[in-house]
Structure 1
Amino acid sequence: MEHRQLGRTGLRVSSVGLGTMTWSRDTDDHEAKDQLRDFVEAGGTLVDTSASYADGGAEELLGSLLGDVVARDELVLCTKGGVRRTVDGGVVDASRGTLLDSLDRSLARLRTDRVDLWLVQTPDARTPLEETVSAMRLAVSSGRARYVGLSNHPGWQVARAATLLEPDPGLAAVEAEYSLLQRGVEREVLPACAGLGAGLLAWSPLGRGVLTGKYRRTIPSDSRAASAHLAGFVRPYLTADAAGVVDAVATAAAGLERQPLEVALAWVVGRPGVASALVGARTAAQLRVALGADDLELPDEIVRALDEITAPTLGYPERLDPR
């Protein structure tokens, strides 16, 4: 598997990363172990998790596998903080105290003294960005995180945080949804990353599973769309417009004698500015299919066709009329 530089940092990550959102809830310890083993054997290094995944269960499960399936130093561990659990559910909280407490608990669950990359998971409208950034800086200066970044933040916050983090430690990465069904990052986030030297980590490159083609005719009983806690996550892409994109991907895949998910993943991996595409599979068998796309380089004519079908609308102020 190809390894790429994360933005302008010295950190290198595998072009496909392993997502763990389903671990300890939909993915049990046996499947997780098989996933991690297959991922490492394929040359993967970047494993992405979060304190919020299964209320810390994903981190706990990943930590139990370190040293068993793979040595800690052979992985690039990325985790996220900023969603605080309460009796009423998750609450966005990117205050200094909550972030640093969350990081300490993440390290304990992961059974390590540091993570390679630590991200603030989502914007917090109630906490000044300056305070959030101060926690990010302290995480690096204390040795608890080697690099820091943001997740799901708009372009202006990416730019502001990067400015506040200059010159050291700098903003290493931005994690955001990016697929043929969601290209919104191309308006401002990707240009911001390119200008500021941050690498993009693309989550849900398979369009929340829809680009695999599994939902073209029905909703499988064992799929995310049939799950009580994930149906709402998939539903936005079960539309007529999305179906047209899925059909185009399936047509391209048939012509290449590959699977639709391989085409969808290869498209994201090949986009400028993308350091890694994060694949979160429920089973090891599903992950192995995705890892099989590693050798696929899409022909230019297919890339152009998919680009034209799915291109986001750009206008003022992202694109000015030259007149």
Structure 2
Amino acid sequence: MEHRQLGHSGLRVSRLGLGTMTWGHDTTAEEAASQLTAFVDAGGSFVDTADVYNDGESETVLGGLIGDVVPRENIVLATKAVARRTEGPFGGGASRGALLTALDGSLSRLKVDHIDLWQLHAWDASVPVEETLSALDAAITSGKVRYVGISNYSGWQLATAATLQAAKPAHHPLISTQVEYSLLERGVEREVVPAALHHGLGLLPWAPLGRGVLTGKYRNGTPADSRAASQNLSRYVEHHRTERAARIVQAVVTAADGLGTSPLCVALAWVRDRPGVIAPIIGPKDTGQLTGCLAAEDLELPRAIRAALDDVSAPTITYPERRMD
């Protein structure tokens, strides 16, 4: 699998990331082990989790596999903090105390001595951003974190944080931003993508398959074994089951038929090669779905098909925003 530089840094990651949001709940430890092994065997390295996923169980499951199932040195390990909420003065949010406490918790659950990429899961308006960023500096200085990034920040939030961090005499720059980005969700192209490109942050798209809708599985109903049929994830999927989405999905299916591949591969290849994108993060339910995603590694969309998909999914961009292509 091809590897790419993440932002303006020396960190290299596989151009496909393995997400673990369902690990410890819908995905068992045995299935997680199978996925992780297949991903690394295919040349993948970037694995993403968060302390809030299934109340820490995702990190716990992953921590039980690192070292035993795959060597630690083969994994670029990423996790996130801010969103986890527990009782007590250090129970959540982006304060310095809460973040550093959360970091220690992640290290314990993951059973490692450092995190390769530690990300702020959300902007916290109740805490001065300077204090939040000071926690990132402390984490790197302590040796517990190698690189830092953000997630789900708007354009102005990204620009503010990146500018403040870069202005420090001995700064540790933000190198990535993780955002929802797919053919069904292109809103980040209005402000987030231009800000990320300007400040040198690599884009890590989550839900690159439109929360599963771009696979085409929901065109004729809701499969009983799908996430849309799950009590935990039905609302997550329903967000993208709209008339507009149906038109885009049909275009993806048509393109896949013409190329002799799957809609999944078409949708994944499209977002993987967008400006600024480094590694879309997939969240396969099982190893079979992972195998389907890995097949996109060999697909490069023809210019005409890419243009057609761009057109059918184009977001509304007006003054004072601008297009990236």
- Per the normalisation by structure 1, the TM-score is 0.96
Structure 1 residue aligned with 2:188: 185
Cα distance, 1:179 vs structure 2: 0.2
Structure 2 residue aligned with 1:147: 147
Structure 2 residue aligned with 1:34: 34
Structure 2 residue aligned with 1:99: 99
1:244-286, Cα deviation, whole Å (9 max, x unpaired): 1000000000000100000000001111100101000111111
**Is the Cα contact below 8 Å between 2:253 and 2:263 reproduced in 1?**
yes
Q: Report the secondary structure of 2:185's partner residue.
A: coil
Structure 1 residue aligned with 2:289: 286
Q: Report the secondary structure of 1:172's partner residue.
A: strand
Q: Name the CA distance, whole Å, in 2 between partners of 1:92 and 1:68.
A: 31
**Is the Cα contact below 8 Å between 2:55 and 2:84 reproduced in 1?**
no
Structure 2 residue aligned with 1:133: 133
- Per the normalisation by structure 2, the TM-score is 0.95
Correspondence 1:113 to 2:81: no
Q: Name the CA distance, whole Å, in 1 between partners of 2:129 and 2:319.
A: 26
Structure 1 residue aligned with 2:311: 308
1:109-134, Cα deviation, whole Å (9 max, x unpaired): 11101110000101112112111111
Structure 2 residue aligned with 1:263: 266
Cα distance, 1:319 vs structure 2: 3.3
**Is the Cα contact below 8 Å between 1:84 and 1:98 reproduced in 2?**
no
Cα distance, 1:317 vs structure 2: 1.5
Structure 2 residue aligned with 1:70: 70
Q: Name the CA distance, whole Å, in 2 between partners of 1:146 and 1:199.
A: 16
Q: Report the secondary structure of 1:181's partner residue.
A: coil
Structure 2 residue aligned with 1:227: 230
**Is the Cα contact below 8 Å between 2:205 and 2:281 reproduced in 1?**
yes
Q: Which consecutive residues of structure 2, in runs of 5 or more, have no partner in the other structure?
A: none
Aligned length: 317
Letter of the aligned partner of 1:3 in structure 2? H
Q: Report the secondary structure of 2:85's partner residue.
A: strand
Q: Which consecutive residues of structure 1, in runs of 5 or more, have no partner in the other structure?
A: none
Q: Report the secondary structure of 1:56's partner residue.
A: helix
Q: Structure 1 residues 183-192 or 123-132, which shifts more?
A: 123-132
Q: Name the CA distance, whole Å, in 2 between partners of 1:164 and 1:92.
A: 23
Correspondence 1:236 to 2:239: yes
Letter of the aligned partner of 1:303 in structure 2? R
Q: Name the CA distance, whole Å, in 1 between partners of 2:158 and 2:139.
A: 18
Letter of the aligned partner of 2:108 in structure 1? A
Cα distance, 1:162 vs structure 2: 0.8
Structure 2 residue aligned with 1:56: 56
Structure 2 residue aligned with 1:80: 80
Q: Report the secondary structure of 1:84's partner residue.
A: coil
1:135-192, Cα deviation, whole Å (9 max, x unpaired): 1111111111111111000011111111121152101100001000001111111111
Q: Report the secondary structure of 2:60's partner residue.
A: helix
1:1-28, Cα deviation, whole Å (9 max, x unpaired): 1100001100001000000001010000
Correspondence 1:22 to 2:22: yes
Matches within 5 A, 1:194-205: 194-205=197-208
Structure 2 residue aligned with 1:295: 298
Q: Name the CA distance, whole Å, in 2 between partners of 1:189 and 1:63.
A: 32
Residue number among 245, 248, 251 corresponding to 1:248 in the alignment: 251
Matches within 5 A, 1:210-221: 210-221=213-224
Cα distance, 1:92 vs structure 2: 6.2
Q: Structure 1 residues 311-320 or 32-41, which shifts more?
A: 311-320
**Is the Cα contact below 8 Å between 1:181 and 1:207 reproduced in 2?**
yes
C-alpha RMSD of matched pairs (Å): 1.3
